[in-house]
Structure 1
Amino acid sequence: MYYGFEKVMGIFCNGTFDVFACWPHSSPGIVSVPCPPYLPWIKEGATGNVYKECTANGTWKPEENSSSLWRNHSECENHSFFKVLSIVGYSLSFSSLCLAVLIMSLLRAGSRYLIS
């Protein structure tokens, strides 16, 4: 008897944790699990899923030209978080550039008076 577990027969992918979500033992095909609530950019109560593919030979599908395993977590991304983060970053960068140009122009104007 198996309490709380399903007996998996034949070819299957082993259950694993890929630093994003816990994946159960799975038969070949597309596997989905709910978005993990412990990631900081995922809103609490998010209803999306993460997808991973179990190949016909019983291994998780790798990304092309990589040793990493393929995963589709697009339903879990909070685009507004990244948008705010990029706006803040670009604003700080632009402000620093303007300040640097202002300082350089003031120093250059001051050096003209010293030379003449």
Structure 2
Amino acid sequence: MDAALLHSLLEANCSLALAEELLLDGWGPPLDPEGPYSYCNTTLDQIGTCWPRSAAGALVERPCPEYFNGVKYNTTRNAYRECLENGTWASKINYSQCEPILDDKQRKYDLHYHIALVVNYLGHCVSVAALVAAFLLFLGLRSIRCLRNVIHWNLITTFILRNVMWFLLQLIDHEVHESNE
């Protein structure tokens, strides 16, 4: 289906839904018919929230969307959008009051995830500490130097470098763990 056609159908449905709401709740504040920019037209935003025709300069509130990206939101709160004086909608919509409703399963998942994250960091710390201790032993004890131990010393050095790089990556990009959720 063509994107423009889909958008026009959604706008028509938005207008019909708002007309029904206005008939049930009353017509709201009268709009001043004088002037070319006395109101903002009914429109949909990118999320799908339907913004009704409103007087210029008004701050319009609509209930938060029930679902967005598969996450359920609290619909008792409101989103806000301003109808500017020139009759256009402000590009920024305030959805800051809209909070996701997390069920116990999600909260338990978040707790388990953070515990696993702490265990991961602790494991890397213990690993680096043990590897540094082994490296220092190989460095300090000249009596145990042989080809086999030099090979192990090089192996320990690579593990130390790998763990140090892992810590540097975590410092540079701390969003790595959040993107894995």
TM-score by length of 2: 0.44
- Indicate conservation of the 8 Å contact 2:73/2:101, yes or no: no
User: Which protein has the larger Cα radius of gyration, Structure 1 or Structure 2?
Assistant: 2
The number of residue pairs the alignment matches comes to 102
Amino acid at match of 1:22: C
Structure 2 residues not aligned, in runs of 5+: 1-15, 21-26, 142-181
Percent identity for Structure 1 against Structure 2: 27
Structure 1 residues not aligned, in runs of 5+: 62-68
* Alignment RMSD (CA, Å): 3.2
Residues 1:19 and 1:74: Cα distance change in structure 2 (over 3 Å): same
Task: Tell me the residue number matched to 1:66.
Answer: none
Determine which of 95, 109, 133 is the counterpart of 1:73: 95
Determine which of 121, 125, 130 is the counterpart of 1:101: 125
Give the secondary structure class of the aligned counterpart of 1:75. coil
- Relative CO higher for 1 or 2, CA cutoff 8 Å, sep ≥ 6? 1
1:72-93 per-position Cα deviation (integer Å, ceiling 9, x unaligned): 2233223868xx5876665554
- Structure 1 residue 104: deviation in Å? 0.4
Residues 1:35 and 1:102: Cα distance change in structure 2 (over 3 Å): same
Determine which of 98, 111, 114 is the counterpart of 2:135: 111
Amino acid at match of 2:52: P
2:76 is the counterpart of 1:47: yes
2:54 is the counterpart of 1:32: no
